[in-house]
Structure 1
Amino acid sequence: MTAPSTNPTAPSTSTNAPPPADRSRRVVTVACWLALAPGLGWAVLRLGGLERAAAVQWVAFTPYVVVWTLVPLGLALALRRFPAAAVAALVTICLAAVVGPRAVPDRQPDPTGPALRVMTANLLFGGADPAALVALVRDERVDVLAVQEFTAGAATELDRFGLAELLPHRQLGPDDGARGSALYARFPLRDGGVRRNGGGFNQAYATVLVPGAPSVLVESVHPAAPHSLDVLAAWRSDLEAEPPATPDGPLRVLAGDFNATLDHAPLRRLLATGYVDAADATGDGLVGTWGPYDGDLIPPVTIDHVLADRRIGVRDTRVHPLAGSDHRPVLAELSLPAA
């Protein structure tokens, strides 16, 4: 009986495939990197001021992304994928560094002049509750009211509920739909007017003569809304055309619906001319002012602002509800230099 022969040329049954355990580890590692990739891309977009096309809308939600970045960070740490965890931590730190300061009060100048209480309110095609807005002006002792989406009908209704007695001085630019704008003031106005920006919205402006303080140039701001790709150029050019601060000249205050958050590069460039965002200065910069208030399922974002010359102190800011509008009015109590 002979032993069976072996054929050295027969194919081998072994393969070079990694063991199942190695494959699982690789899948987990890839999953960790894929999970942190959106946050990494967002950080590059936001820190570089690179928002273009649809990213103009996305970048408004950066504060929510900061919270989300904790998910891939926790996942990478739990699975002991430390290189991925290190990158995820860096993403979280970078985004938190630009968003977090909005929740912390800044050191303010301490001018010795009078207070000026400025409120901005978007009326949503003139349909906001006029009685509620007038009551808010009365209760909060508002000195200057900047309104957007201001119609002739809204002007009539506001006066019917007593706004003329509270704020008798005005610069009005009513128009149909969202185009109208107005300024109302407790103090006299001069050199007022209404300009139409490139996006088609009016912006009322005037110099407010505050007793005991230098005059203050105030403008009701309303650049184009970046609601679709075909208006992004107008949105950007409108923001770039907003009056810069004049640190060596007259005091300026811009109040309105900027259609931009502090995560949008054009607004940050405007601030860099010499303004401070009032809500950011008081640690209220993450309070939403637009979003779900008319029923839309949109997380609140902060696009309504009061920007004040850096020589002006900011004592307080508040955000109030307003029935009939998809925006919330913003009130800023400012402290002016003495005359």
Structure 2
Amino acid sequence: MKDSLRFVKRGLLSALPWALALPAAVWAVLRLAGWDTWYPMAQLMAFTPYVAAGSLVPLAVLLVWRRWTAAAVAGVAALALVAVVAPRFLADGDALAGARGQALRVMSANVLVGSAGPDTLVALVREHRVDVLALQEVSPDYLAAADAAGMRDELPFRVDYAVPGVEGSAVLSRHPLRDDGVRVNPGGFRQARAEVSVPGGGSVLVESAHPLAPWADFVTPLWARGFDDQPRATPDGPVRVLLGDFNATLDHHLLRELIDSGYRDAAEVLGRGLTGTWGPYDGNMIPPVTLDRVLADRRVGVRDFRVLDLPGSDHRPVYAELVLP
């Protein structure tokens, strides 16, 4: 009996170092390989920054314990995870931000089926002198309430595809615009599109992004297809700005591929890419993740980026001051 217990104890002690090292190693492989379009990994991948920070703990334990082989595996995994996350809080030193081009102040807000306070949203628009506002989950009643609070005085031009429920979308502008139609993603989420005429800055294509969230097994393929349909950057054509609730983070390869088409993420350019924009909400202890963002083509400078507060919504608005070429 004692021999059996000794054997079991020896086996557990041999397995424990690998139990500490392998979770981060597996996560790193999935992240680097882009194997994230299956449920629930599509959801879990959003928490990679927390995994990167947590991967240092088993590494420290294994080093103190002197389990060198397992520590080496844990070290490589931690290094890989930190390497993909760290650039988000390292500013790029954007030379385009100091250019003399026309400034364009943009903001995106998911108003949670009209639950966010319209008065607060209008106050944010005034405070930051927003030129273009992209809205998601916006209903006709919410737009009417925002107009009653003064929104139309600030942003009189609009492309309005608001509907009751979560599918509504709109682009509101201080400058004249042309209705460029609506993109309907798999699952029904709408994306209002507009061509905004900016005085002294030409025209800018603006779209309010909102792919379906990968909240269950059967909708995850629809989420992936939604990214296939997102407009690629046009760095050799019209200036394009894509902003909204992307329901993805920089750890999802679908979003990275979209950015690699010629966009720049305004938050990452200024080293503010780890500020959470979604969660926790409704009493859930979900760590914040970064789902909302402003993407502009690589000719556009980024002078400012901020994550704001909008009580009543589970998302925080994002604001950027861009410099048009």
Instruction: State if a TM-score over 0.5 links the two structures.
Output: yes
1:30 maps onto 2:2 in alignment: no
2:31: which partner in 1? Answer: 46
Q: Which of 300, 311, 315 is the aligned partner of 1:327?
A: 315
SS in 2 for 1:170: strand
Could you tell me how far apart the structure 2 residues matched to 1:58 and 1:23 are? 33
What are the Cα deviations for residues 15-68 of structure 1, in whole angstroms up to 9, with x where unaligned?
9x6996x98676434211111211111001100000122110010000000011
Q: CA deviation at 1:208?
A: 1.0
Q: Which of 118, 125, 129 is the aligned partner of 2:117?
A: 129
SS in 2 for 1:146: strand
Q: Which amino acid aligns with 2:47?
A: F
Alpha carbons 2:39, 2:214 under 8 Å: kept: no
Q: Which of 243, 251, 274 is the aligned partner of 1:263?
A: 251
SS in 2 for 1:231: helix
Q: Which amino acid aligns with 1:290?
A: W
1:118 maps onto 2:106 in alignment: yes
Could you tell me how far apart the structure 1 residues matched to 2:70 and 2:321 are? 45
Q: Which of 76, 79, 94 is the aligned partner of 1:90?
A: 76
2:186: which partner in 1? Answer: 198
Give every structure 1 segment of 4 or more consecutive aligned residues whose post-TM-superposition deviation is greater than 4 Å.
17-20, 22-26
For 1:1-339, what aligned pairs fall within 5 Å after superposition? 27-51=12-36, 52-110=38-96, 111-337=99-325
**Stretches of structure 1 lacking an aligned partner (at least 5 in a row):** 1-14
Alpha carbons 2:45, 2:251 under 8 Å: kept: yes
Could you tell me how far apart the structure 2 residues matched to 1:28 and 1:141 are? 62
Alpha carbons 1:277, 1:308 under 8 Å: kept: yes
Could you tell me how far apart the structure 1 residues matched to 2:107 and 2:14 are? 51
Could you tell me how far apart the structure 2 residues matched to 1:264 and 1:288 are? 15
Answer with 193-202 or 247-256: which moved more: 193-202
Q: CA deviation at 1:171?
A: 0.6
Could you tell me how far apart the structure 1 residues matched to 2:284 and 2:171 are? 28
Could you tell me how far apart the structure 1 residues matched to 2:109 and 2:42 are? 23
Could you tell me how far apart the structure 2 residues matched to 1:109 and 1:178 are? 39
Aligned residues: 321
Larger-gyration structure (1/2): 1
Relative to the length of structure 1, the TM-score reads 0.91
What are the Cα deviations for residues 241-289 of structure 1, in whole angstroms up to 9, with x where unaligned?
0100011100100010000000001101100100011111111100000
Cα pair distance change 1:331/1:293, threshold 3 Å: farther
SS in 2 for 1:247: coil
Answer with 272-281 or 195-204: which moved more: 195-204
Q: Which amino acid aligns with 1:308?
A: A
Relative to the length of structure 2, the TM-score reads 0.95
SS in 2 for 1:203: strand
Could you tell me how far apart the structure 2 residues matched to 1:25 and 1:82 are? 18
What are the Cα deviations for residues 53-88 of structure 1, in whole angstroms up to 9, with x where unaligned?
211001000000001101110110110111111111
Q: Which amino acid aligns with 1:41?
A: V
Could you tell me how far apart the structure 2 residues matched to 1:322 and 1:78 are? 45
Q: CA deviation at 1:194?
A: 2.1
Q: Which amino acid aligns with 1:63?
A: P
SS in 2 for 1:262: coil
Query: Percent same amino acid among aligned pairs?
Result: 53
